[in-house]
């Protein structure tokens, strides 16, 4: 009886595609600028770190990791510090002079990165839904892989080399953070990739990254998120006001989803003249990214995948308090309208601290 050969998984094929492209191009890609989205999260950091390693150590391609915004969340800072991820703030001059730019966990048409408009990209590797055709030499968009880190993990595993412990640890955390500890993993190959890469991981370092010390400001922001929270049916919403980093907006949105009545959580924060928005849902087929895009004036200001969505839009550095409040309230009105929830008879109430119902508008 013949032994049946297993078919290559989608992620395995994706990993081979990355390696084939780098192997074919090699020194012609040097120097390669690896660009993440602004305010990079663990998935963006890990996938960029892995591509940097593969490019430099395997194919001799000079590479550099750059990002816009800041690395704000404590877990992300600890990840960069402990694993010694070689990244730095991008300069506009770099984007102009570098002929080869790879975008990780983002895409050229997205508004969440510093990639120049109408510029040709060398590589695009991402898990989010596209809003247009990719203008790139190499494009790999897998909306069901769970995390961009899965694609880079599969690429590095396909090389059959000793995976550096720091790279493996980064990829494990990138996968865990974007799949909600594998809860959002849609395909068996995502689990398989995780189980293979975790064998090379530094578990003590991973635990330190996942449980960093936190500042007084963080707890103050959490308290404000709870204090300002209102509920509409099964939708929990909170405006944080001005925040020290946009990362905290998604962190509070995730925290609010643990409320027993919540099926949706919407959180906003004001930062550097923009209103940052994070949306979470417990409904797996809800198409959160489409809902958030429809809730903003410009669809290109938002993106996401599965149960996670986020975005931002300009309000103004010198905007008045009234202008900020109008932007927040208009967002909520459009969001609820998109979910077909009427506002005329809808009552909002504070679910945590008060039981007396009150209206949304301030």
Q: For the chain, what are the domain ranges?
A: 10-210, 218-358
What's the pLDDT at 12?
61
- Non-local (6+) Cβ contacts of 36 within 8 A are 44, 45, 48, 65, 66, 67, 87, 103, 104, 105, 106, 113
pLDDT along the chain (362 residues), means of 10: 40 85 95 96 98 97 96 95 97 93 96 92 95 90 95 96 98 95 89 97 98 94 95 93 95 94 96 97 89 93 87 96 96 94 57 45 40
What's the pLDDT at 351?
52
CA angle 352/248/284 to nearest 5° reads 75
CA–CA distance, 279 with 310 (Å, rounded to integer):
6
What's the pLDDT at 53?
98
Straight-line distance from the first to the last Cα atom of the chain, in angstroms, rounded to the nearest whole number: 74
Nearest C-alpha neighbor of 105 from the set 154, 167, 37: 37
Q: What is the 3-state secondary structure (H, E, C) of the chain?
A: CCCCCCCCCHHHHHHHHHHHHHHHHHHHHCCEEEEECCCCCHHHHHHHHHHHHHHHHHHCCCEEEEECCCCCCHHHHHHHHHHCCCEEECCHHHHHHCCEEEEECCCCCCCCCCCCCCCCEEEEEECCCCCCCCCEEEEEECCCCCCHHHHHHHHHHHCCCCCCHHHHHHHHHHHHHHCCCCCCCCCHHHHHHHHHHHHHCCHHHHHHHHCCCCCHHHHHHHHHHHHCCEEECCEEEEEEEECCCCHHHHHHHHHHCCCCCCCEEEEEEEECCEEEEEEEECCCCCCHHHHHHHHCCCHHHEEEECCEEEEEEECCCCCCHHHHHHHHHHHHHHHHHHCCCCCCCCCEECCCCCCCEECCCC
What's the pLDDT at 13?
80
Q: Does domain 218-358 have CATH number 3.40.47.10?
A: no
What is the pairing mode between strands 302-305 and 121-126?
Answer: unpaired
Nearest C-alpha neighbor of 267 from the set 297, 288, 298, 290: 288
What's the pLDDT at 325?
95
What's the pLDDT at 348?
53
> Is residue 70 a contact partner of residue 39, using CB atoms and an 8 Å limit?
yes
What's the pLDDT at 356?
39
Residue 249 has, within 13 A of its CA and on its CB side, a CA count of 26
Kindly report the number of other CB atoms within 10 A of residue 347's CB atom: 12
CATH class, 10-210 region: alpha beta
Nearest C-alpha neighbor of 146 from the set 83, 85, 193: 193
pTM: predicted TM-score of the whole model, two decimal places = 0.86
């Amino acid at each position: 009886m013949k032994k049946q050969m297993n078919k290559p998984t989608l992620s395995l094929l994706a990993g081979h595609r990355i390696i084939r492209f780098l192997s074919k191009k090699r020194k012609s890609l040097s120097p390669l600028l690896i660009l993440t989205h602004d305010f990079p999260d663990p998935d963006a950091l890990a996938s960029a770190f892995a591509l940097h390693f593969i490019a430099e150590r395997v194919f001799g391609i000079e590479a550099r990791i750059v990002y816009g915004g800041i690395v704000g969340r404590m877990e992300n800072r600890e990840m960069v510090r402990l694993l010694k991820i070689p990244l730095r703030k991008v300069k506009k001059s770099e984007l102009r002079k570098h002929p080869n730019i790879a975008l990780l966990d983002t895409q050229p048409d997205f508004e969440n990165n510093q990639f120049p408009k109408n510029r040709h990209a060398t590589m695009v590797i991402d898990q989010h839904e596209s809003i247009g055709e990719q203008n790139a030499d190499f494009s790999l968009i897998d909306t069901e892989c769970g995390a961009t880190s899965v694609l880079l993990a599969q690429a590095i595993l396909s090389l059959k080399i000793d995976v550096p412990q720091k790279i493996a640890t980064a990829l494990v955390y990138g996968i865990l953070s974007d799949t909600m500890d594998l809860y959002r993993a849609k395909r068996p190959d995502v689990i398989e990739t995780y189980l293979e890469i975790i064998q090379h991981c530094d578990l003590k370092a991973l635990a330190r990254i996942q449980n960093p010390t936190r500042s007084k400001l963080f707890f103050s922001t959490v308290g404000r998120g709870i204090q300002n929270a209102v509920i509409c049916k099964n939708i929990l919403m909170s405006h944080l006001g001005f925040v020290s980093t946009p990362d905290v907006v998604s962190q509070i949105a995730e925290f609010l989803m643990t409320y027993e009545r919540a099926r949706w959580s919407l959180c906003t924060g004001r930062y550097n003249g923009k209103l940052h928005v994070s949306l979470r849902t417990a409904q797996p087929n809800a198409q959160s990214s489409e809902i958030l895009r429809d809730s903003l004036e410009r669809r290109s200001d938002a993106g996401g995948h599965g149960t996670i969505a986020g975005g931002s839009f300009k309000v103004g550095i010198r905007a008045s308090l009234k202008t900020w409040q109008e932007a927040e309230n208009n967002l909520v009105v459009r969001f609820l309208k998109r979910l077909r929830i009427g506002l005329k008879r809808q009552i909002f109430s504070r679910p945590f601290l008060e039981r007396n119902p009150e209206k949304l508008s301030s």
